[in-house]
Amino acid sequence: MQSLPDLQERGAEHPFLGGIPSIGTIVQQENSLRREVKIGEVYYEQVLHYVCEIDCIRIYAFDISDRQYWDCSEYN
């Protein structure tokens, strides 16, 4: 949690979790969803998986800021 030190404190109000309640139904239907989230200057790729056995959504996140930089620099 070093990258997102206030995530636990802010909970669902944190931008990292923005929109999770509204996409929860989609994840449950599709079993997984991939999206990109920007927090400050850092881009994250989130992979959300629904685990039906325990009725929860697991979120895996990867810092893709370098990839975003190179994708954007191709056009500059």
pLDDT digits (tens, 9 = 90+) for 30-59: 888 999 999 988 999 999 999 989 988 899
The single residue listed with the structure tokens 């992979």 is 47
Q: Indicate if the pLDDT at residue 13 is higher than 50.
A: yes
Q: How confident is the model at residue 74 (pLDDT cuts 50, 70, 90)?
A: low
What pLDDT does 1 receive?
A: 46
The single residue listed with the structure tokens 């599709």 is 30
Q: What is the DSSP string of 2-62?
A: TTSTTHHHHGGGSGGGTTHHHHHHHHHHHSEEEEEEEETTEEEEEEEEEETTTTEEEEEEE
Tell me the pTM: 0.74
Q: Domain-by-domain residue ranges, the chain? A: 7-73
Distance CA 68, CA 73 (A): 8
